[in-house]
Amino acid sequence: MQYTWSWEKTDARRPGMSGDLAKIFRHEDPKAPGVFAAGAPSAAATLLAREVIQNSWDAARELREGGPAAPQFEIEFRFKELHGADKRAIVNALDLRSFAIRAASIDRRKVGLPPRDCLSELDTDEPLRVLQITEYGTTGMYGPWQENKSHMFLALLSIGFTEKAPGAGGSYGYGKAGLISGSRIRSVVAYTCFRPDQREPDVTRRLLGVTYWGPHDYQGINHPGIATFSSGSAGDIQPFVNKEADAIASALGLAIRSPARLSDLGTTFLLIDTPIKPEDLVRAVERSWWPALVENDLVVAIVDFDGSPLAPRPMRDPVLRTFIAAWEIAVGRSMPGSDSYRSDLTAPPAQRGLASAGRLGLIADLTGWSYATDEIGPNGEEILHRSLVALTRGPKMVVEYLEAGHTPPYVRGAFIADPAIDDRLRETEPKAHDAWRTKAEEGEVSPEAAAIATHVIKKIKQTVNNFRTKLKPPTPPPEDFNLPLFDKVMRKIMAGAAQGKRQPVAETRPIAIRLDYAPVQAARDRVKIRGRVAYSLSEHFSGDRANVTVQITYRFVEDDRVGDHVPLSIKPPDGFISDGTGRYAGLLVRGTEARFTFESEPYDPSWSGRLVVHGELSDRVRTDGDTE
Amino acid sequence: MSTETRTVRPFVGLDELQHALGGTALRFGEHCVPAGSSITVDLAPQEFLARPVSIEWAPDDQTFLHLREHIIGTVRSADLPIDAVALVVIATSSFLKLADLILECPLPQMAELPRITSLLGNGRRPRSLSTPFNGFTVHSYLLLRRALPDRLLRPHRMGTWLARTDYRVETTLGPGSLAPTPLTGEIRKQYDLPRKTVRFIHFGDHDPVQPYRDQEPPIFYVDEEILAQLNARRTAPTSRALQLQLAHDFVTAVVYRAAASPELEALSYDDVRTSLLGSVIRLAAGPGASQAELSALLAVTRRNPERLIARAEHFIDLADDYSAILKDGDS
């Protein structure tokens, strides 16, 4: 039986999803800081390597959690050139000619197709290049289709949903952009095998093809660009199941999976007309996944078009080898020496009871790359050398090579986040999972998660800087400086060493503050601070009345510096009104005091706090005098 | 603007003790460093290393006796065993990143402590006090020398401090100058700077309100051609005036960057003391400034950074060199 594609139609009565999902990652080239500018893999290969492996690896970890019998996770990327009958079989089975006809009558650029692709060569002798991705040792894309709980639905047809276990690498919604990047015509076929679900006990395999083009008009009808290859129709997508799915998979040259065998659980993807170069994918996998490869958590096999194996081997790469050496120090398998360092970073203040935020291993090469001067890579790339730290967490993918210093000596390192903060760090990651964001963003990054990311990044940079300082040669003697006067004055500035006559700093505080406070018991094992603040006009203010703004804050002290805020309950005097940001505005009259009372929330008695009480003349209205 | 800042310890009954060490002083040769303050010395390394270092607990024997009685009385009235508390002195070198425990005197033995206690031990100078290029800090503590039963609002962990102060000796030989780096065409391109930019201070990740030594220093770029000219005529009046102006530009950049820091509002002078801003505040405060004056200048940074810059300008002393070039030029 000949199946074909069903194109969704734009329906103003229903929310629509454009098929041009690749736009999500457009203009977001993968980061290649410092030495990684040399020989950087393409954006498409990097996206494919990061997103596809991440989704499969998350499914593998989920299977492992289900029992110790789970097989080793493996993922194979097999590049194939199909000729003659093999090519015709796929072209016919997937009805690719219908795409060619449609593409010929629409603006290819607008829907995201390149100027040339396989659609103009379907009936020529040109080979059809496909990429077959086969995963083993995962759960497969399980879940009942009708309840929209199918992981196949989430992976191929939804966007923005995250239906994954805590600690997982990514969200299904954006993973599909990785698949799309592997097909010039943006067509993906997924054949998956999973354990039966009690809500759908008879279904163990599904096959679905999805094509993601941009919105377009075709034969007078507007389409959002999503086409599906299924047993259903537009608006009623029904993946092929069980034997029908097997039969189509077989027609596409995919190995049949059996739910009876644990090793057969998993998904096979077929990406049509792939632009990815095998050696490019090898580099992308090595750069993003070396921690998991080193730990033998996953096996990645890449098979070139000619059938030769191209296993990623990060230890072959002299740059990655240095990061792996730092990793070995971080995990404790290597002892730090004179040119390396290991540190357990202090835990974020909000993580009471946590011993460490994670482990950091650092290394340097003082006779080599730590003082690298080459500015041009082998392919003419501009290299701006940096100290770099590979940031990792649970899934052992390199989230980012964090730039931690821009002057020599350069150092390299690996940071492994403590599992206790894994979910918070994941929350801070953007859709490409390539950074830990330090600014809270409503609906995306909570202030708590942003604070943890800020703490981690700050501690990493501090530790790197301290290590670099230790490595630096001694400061040159003063006689080596060429501008003696500049040098002398800068030394005075840097030391804060003023010379000459004393110059008293005038007392100009317009508002006098009287403060009375004490820590008190709040509950059996908690304390709180309670106190009063009285504001009045000081002798330095010349008038009798003034509008003022006041603020009372209380923050924990961590390492002798202020940290998290402790919420205060503040009772203002009559006439003082809160502006909603913790400030109070009101009128001060000479001879009277504005008395505030405050009380903090209960907190752990191990902490000291910093009470800061401000008062200032209001910028907006001042009456009867001004000290400025 | 008026600000009051207090550090709140989670204990009761020890307020009196918190300031018990406030009347002590460090003696560094002829220099006296009152508790909680710092001095900057301009000494040759060998002279620095030859100077005796001691702590004067009180100006006379009678006051010292009162201090001992006050400390022991307050500890007793806070219901703490006096043998659980010790007077401890630690010297630190942030440059060497080390701390030396110099003195640990349990309170019951305080009567045997000399009023002026040498910190040099038996002739062997601690490494932390042997830093003529970078100075040192001495910290005095009253702290718990052993753990006590856990009681709310009472110190109980070993090492918890009940009172503390510090004394800092800085040196004009350190922490080193910030040598200008030639501003080349490549660097202009890197930072997207126009061709006629003469100077550029690249802070990178450096935060001028955070400890200087914990961070990568900023880079002070000066046009390579102008730098070469300054170098070639380094003692000429114009070169001298420009060198001073460059230093002043650096101060200006530090102050404005610090003033824009969202963290500054909650920081005390002690928080920024070891930062670039702390250095600029000390410079602008002038010699002999009190802690209150330094704190007042921190408040000035928040609300009126131009005033801090103007005060710093006085101590950079541009006026004479400006006058020289205006009157006579380089002839």
pLDDT tens column, A82-138: 999 999 999 999 999 999 999 999 999 889 899 999 999 999 999 999 999 999 999
The mean pLDDT of chain B is 88
Is there a domain that residue A485 lies in? Answer: no
**For an interface test with A, which of B2, B214, B251 has the most A Cβ atoms less than 10 Å from its Cβ?**
B2
Is there a domain that residue A63 lies in? Answer: yes
Least confidently predicted of A212-216, A399-403, B151-155, B317-321: B317-321
Q: Residue B285 is nearest to which of A498, A517, A527, comparing CB atoms?
A: A498
Residues 46-65 of B with CB under 8 A from A: none
Q: Which residue has the higher pLDDT, A323 or A149?
A: A323
| Each residue's pLDDT tens digit, B234-249 | 788 888 899 999 999 9
The residue type of A240 is F
Residue B270 pLDDT level (bands cut at 50, 70, 90): confident
Residue with tokens 């300031």: B19
Is there a domain that residue A225 lies in? Answer: yes
pLDDT at B329: 60
| Each residue's pLDDT tens digit, A143-152 | 988 777 788 9
| Each residue's pLDDT tens digit, A585-627 | 999 999 999 999 999 999 988 889 999 998 988 854 444 444 3
Q: How many C-beta atoms lie closer than 10 Å to residue A105's C-beta? A: 10
For residues A259 and A122, state if they share a domain.
yes
Q: Residue B271 is nearest to which of A462, A511, A561, comparing CB atoms?
A: A561
d(CA B199, CA B230): 13
The nearest alpha carbon in chain B to A484 belongs to B234
Among residues A467, A500, A534, the one where a domain terminates is A467
Residues 265-304 of B with CB under 8 A from A: 265-268, 270-271, 276, 278-289, 293, 296-297, 303
- Give B13-81 as a DSSP string: S-HHHHTGGGG-EEEETTEEEETT-EEEE---HHHHHH--EEEES-SSHHHHHHHHHHHHHHHHHTT--
**For an interface test with A, which of B8, B213, B245 has the most A Cβ atoms less than 10 Å from its Cβ?**
B8
Q: How many C-beta atoms lie closer than 10 Å to residue B113's C-beta? A: 16
Q: Cβ separation of A465 and B214 shorter than 8 Å?
A: yes
As given in the structure block, the two tokens for residue A491 are 């030394």
Q: Residue B174 is nearest to which of A495, A519, A521, comparing CB atoms?
A: A495
> Three-class SS of residue A361?
strand
Share of chain A above pLDDT 90, in %: 54
* Cβ A360 vs Cβ A418: under 8 Å: no
Residues 174-213 of B with CB under 8 A from A: 174-180, 190, 204-205, 212-213
pLDDT at B233: 78
Size of interface A-B (CB pairs under 8 A): 220
| Each residue's pLDDT tens digit, A540-573 | 888 899 999 999 999 988 877 778 889 999 999 9
Per-residue pLDDT at A155 exceeds 80: yes
For residues A255 and A322, state if they share a domain.
no
Is there a domain that residue A308 lies in? Answer: no
Considering only CB atoms, which chain A residues are within 8 Å of B271?
Answer: 560-562
For residues A544 and A460, state if they share a domain.
no
Q: Which residue has the higher pLDDT, B60 or A68?
A: B60
Considering only CB atoms, which chain A residues are within 8 Å of B239?
Answer: 485
Among residues A243, A276, A309, the one where a domain terminates is A276
Residue B178 pLDDT level (bands cut at 50, 70, 90): confident
> How far away is chain A from the Cα of B90, in angstroms, using its nearest Cα?
16
Buried b (16+ CB within 10 A) or exposed e, A563-574: bbebebebebee
For residues A163 and A231, state if they share a domain.
yes
pLDDT at A375: 77
Element holding A129 (H helix, E strand): strand A128-136
Is there a domain that residue A476 lies in? Answer: no
Distance of CA B157 to the CA centre of its chain: 29
For residues A139 and A63, state if they share a domain.
yes
For residues A270 and A359, state if they share a domain.
no
For residues A522 and A398, state if they share a domain.
no
Residue A173 pLDDT level (bands cut at 50, 70, 90): low
- Domain total of chain A: 3
The nearest alpha carbon in chain A to B169 belongs to A495
Considering only CB atoms, which chain B residues are within 8 Å of A483?
Answer: 180, 230-231, 234, 243
Considering only CB atoms, which chain B residues are within 8 Å of A498?
Answer: 282-287, 315
* Host domain of residue A189: 54-276
> Three-class SS of residue A264?
helix
pLDDT at A464: 94
- By 3-state DSSP, what share of chain B in percent is helix, strand and coil, each rounded to 5? 40, 25, 35
Among residues A467, A490, A521, the one where a domain terminates is A467
d(CA A134, CA A78): 8
d(CA A250, CA A472): 62
Average pLDDT over residues B307-317: 91
Q: Which residue has the higher pLDDT, B42 or A266?
A: A266
> What are the φ and ψ backbone dihedral angles of B148, each rounded to 5 degrees?
-120, 165
Strand partners, B106: B86
Q: For the packed helices B276-285 and B291-303, what is the interaxial angle rounded to 10 degrees?
A: 110
Q: Which residue has the higher pLDDT, B115 or A147?
A: B115
pLDDT at A125: 92
For residues A199 and A347, state if they share a domain.
no
> How far away is chain B from the Cα of A414, in angstroms, using its nearest Cα?
19
Is there a domain that residue A479 lies in? Answer: no
Q: Cβ separation of B8 and A553 shorter than 8 Å?
A: no
Per-residue pLDDT at A203 exceeds 70: yes
**For an interface test with A, which of B177, B190, B230 has the most A Cβ atoms less than 10 Å from its Cβ?**
B177
Q: Cβ separation of A517 and B6 shorter than 8 Å?
A: yes
pLDDT at A475: 43
Per-residue pLDDT at A24 exceeds 70: no
**Which stretches within A317-446 are classed as H helix?**
318-331, 422-428
For residues A408 and A519, state if they share a domain.
no
> How far away is chain A from the Cα of B23, in angstroms, using its nearest Cα?
22
Per-residue pLDDT at A245 exceeds 80: yes
The mean pLDDT of chain A is 87
> Three-class SS of residue A558?
strand
d(CA B108, CA A121): 96
| Each residue's pLDDT tens digit, B80-108 | 999 999 999 999 987 777 899 999 999 99
Is there a domain that residue A593 lies in? Answer: yes
Q: Cβ separation of B6 and A554 shorter than 8 Å?
A: no
pLDDT at A455: 92
**Of the candidates A290, A286, A480, A467, which has an alpha carbon nearest to the alpha carbon of residue A370?**
A467
The nearest alpha carbon in chain A to B134 belongs to A495
For residues A453 and A528, state if they share a domain.
no
Per-residue pLDDT at A524 exceeds 90: no
Q: Which residue has the higher pLDDT, A189 or A448?
A: A189
Q: Residue A500 is nearest to which of B3, B230, B315, comparing CB atoms?
A: B315
Q: Residue B230 is nearest to which of A483, A553, A614, comparing CB atoms?
A: A483
For residues A564 and A455, state if they share a domain.
no
Is there a domain that residue A12 lies in? Answer: no
For residues A522 and A435, state if they share a domain.
no
As given in the structure block, the two tokens for residue A354 are 């946590």
d(CA A76, CA A37): 27
pLDDT at A14: 65
Q: Cβ separation of A490 and B247 shorter than 8 Å?
A: yes
Considering only CB atoms, which chain A residues are within 8 Å of B190?
Answer: 384
d(CA A387, CA A401): 9
- CA angle, A469 as apex, A333 and B96 as ends, to 5°? 100
Q: Cβ separation of B172 and A492 shorter than 8 Å?
A: yes
Considering only CB atoms, which chain B residues are within 8 Å of A527?
Answer: 10, 152-153
Q: Cβ separation of B214 and A462 shorter than 8 Å?
A: yes
Considering only CB atoms, which chain B residues are within 8 Å of A486?
Answer: 177, 180, 230, 243-244, 246-247
Residue with tokens 């800042």: B5
Q: Residue B6 is nearest to which of A475, A481, A515, comparing CB atoms?
A: A515
Q: Which residue has the higher pLDDT, A347 or A327?
A: A327
d(CA A54, CA A58): 6
